[in-house]
Amino acid sequence: MSGVFQQNKFEGNNPTGASPSVAPPAIPQAVQYFLAINGVQEGPFLIDQLKDEVRSGKLVSSTLVWKAGLENWIEAREIDELTSLFNAGPPPIPGA
């Protein structure tokens, strides 16, 4: 049987024969957000956790938020991926 492995140049669990030193790309990390609540930094929060903060009224569109890549704290409404958190319900009824 060992002759079969040698004959077919068995590479273990590497069926393509690619170099085993090639590493796969890094797994993308989830974005973490920090909130400024009453002058105190809270977090980190993942986007799903921020939904709960909106429901509780702790996170509103004017809350200051920071995430990696931002130079300064900005209002939550200025971060595209957070705007949907504040527009989750139906629009107001016309004429109401």
Q: What is the pTM of this model?
A: 0.64
Over the chain (96 residues), the average pLDDT of each successive run of 10 is 54 58 82 96 96 93 96 96 83 78
Q: How far apart are CA 8 and CA 83, in angstroms?
A: 56
Residue 29, amino acid: Q
Do the beta carbons of residue 77 and residue 64 sit within 8 Å? no
The backbone torsions φ and ψ at residue 86, rounded to the nearest 5 degrees and listed phi first, read -95, -10
pLDDT computed for residue 90 by the predictor: 72
Q: Which two tokens stand for residue 14?
A: 């590497």
